[in-house]
Structure 1
Amino acid sequence: MKLWLMLFATLAMTACSSFDTAYEKEVEYEYVEPDVYPVLSAVGYAPISVQQGADYNAKSLRAMKASKLEAYRELAEQVYGQRLQGKATVADMVVVDDGIKSKVDGLIRGARVVRSYPVGDNYATEMELDMERVYQITRSVNKPRRIKDVHYY
């Protein structure tokens, strides 16, 4: 009886263990650096006269800020793309309503203002995004990697 109990206990302990060693491995990664780093550029424009403000200087400052945000939006569009959503309504075989919405969503790090200047009644801001700088910033936050070696046990 004792022998059967020991045999059953041994069988019960090993029944849940895996005999397949393909799942038991250690993966070693190495870091990958791109060969070429592009430099993206964007220009944002904003009208001065329609900005809220008491005088021309206050309106210029608001237009400066708005043009910078527009340039950031353009950089985000280049990096992440633009999400488009279209809608068309048809009634009696005639298009009643047709519309499209666009959305840009992203995080831009490392961009720099190249130049900011007035152009007539508008304010323009030129920005530049060096992807090598972005790579260095991103690598300091979360390091990119690839499989270097796999050890099976």
Structure 2
Amino acid sequence: MLRQMGIILGLVIGAAGCSSMYDKHVEYAIEQPDNYPVLKAVGYAPIAPQPGESAEQKSLMAMKASKIEAYRELAEQVYGQQLSGHTELAQAIASNDRLEAKVQGVIRGAKVMSSYVVGDSYATELELDMKRVYDLYISETKPRKIKKVSYY
């Protein structure tokens, strides 16, 4: 009798273990957002202090610097800023107060809308259409959500 119960218990455990051996087919569907914002950023850079021997070289360097600043502003909008602060007190009086900001990220798909001189500075306007970013993302990663699971 005890042997029969052991065999039956073994069959029950074996059958329960086999339930995970079924094959399955998973169908995925791609989800799209309802709307896509367009982000805009402007970067500025002074012309006079730029390195270069001529006014044209300084202007080109300012143009590049203003473009980088505009990209930084876009990165701040997309990823946010990491802030780090430190304050020291001596006898309940602030003796050293420091605040640092950092931004890090990858910006793809931005377009330069305009570059122009403003006084002794150069300005660059960028635009980032999040629909374009979404399309670039989809083409690279192909994210999916489970649409249907069929077991057989």
Q: TM-score range by the shorter chain?
A: 0.7 to 0.9
Q: What whole-Å deviation, never above 9, does each CA across 1:12-59 have from its counterpart, x for those lacking one? A: xx88x94674xx866532100111111110000000001011011000
Distance 2:59 2:100 in 1: 29
Distance 2:36 2:90 in 1: 51
Residue of structure 1 in register with 2:46 after alignment:
47
Residue of structure 1 in register with 2:66 after alignment:
67
Q: What whole-Å deviation, never above 9, does each CA across 1:70-125 have from its counterpart, x for those lacking one? A: 00000011011111111111122211111111111000000010000000100000
* Cα offset, 1:65, TM superposition: 0.0
Q: Once the two structures are aligned, what percentage of the paired residues are identical? A: 56
* Cα offset, 1:150, TM superposition: 3.3
Aligned: 1:112 with 2:111: yes
Report the 3-state secondary structure (helix = DSSP H, G, I; strand = E; otherwise coil) of the residue aligned with 1:135.
helix
Report the 3-state secondary structure (helix = DSSP H, G, I; strand = E; otherwise coil) of the residue aligned with 1:63.
helix
* Cα offset, 1:144, TM superposition: 2.1
Distance 1:62 1:48 in 2: 8
Distance 1:33 1:90 in 2: 51
Aligned: 1:142 with 2:121: no
Count of residue pairs brought into register by the alignment = 142
Describe how 1:27-38 pairs up with structure 2 within 5 A: 27-38=26-37
Q: Which residues of structure 2 form unaligned runs of 5+?
A: none
**Aligned letter for 1:107?**
V
**Aligned letter for 1:93?**
A
Distance 1:107 1:47 in 2: 25
**Aligned letter for 1:88?**
T
**Aligned letter for 2:51?**
Q
Report the 3-state secondary structure (helix = DSSP H, G, I; strand = E; otherwise coil) of the residue aligned with 1:74.
helix
Deviation >2 Å, runs of 4+: 17-21, 24-29, 149-153
Report the 3-state secondary structure (helix = DSSP H, G, I; strand = E; otherwise coil) of the residue aligned with 2:36.
coil
Report the 3-state secondary structure (helix = DSSP H, G, I; strand = E; otherwise coil) of the residue aligned with 2:44.
strand
TM-score, normalised to structure 1, is 0.82
Residue of structure 2 in register with 1:57 after alignment:
56
- Measured on the aligned residues, the alpha-carbon RMSD in Å equals 2.6
Report the 3-state secondary structure (helix = DSSP H, G, I; strand = E; otherwise coil) of the residue aligned with 2:65.
helix
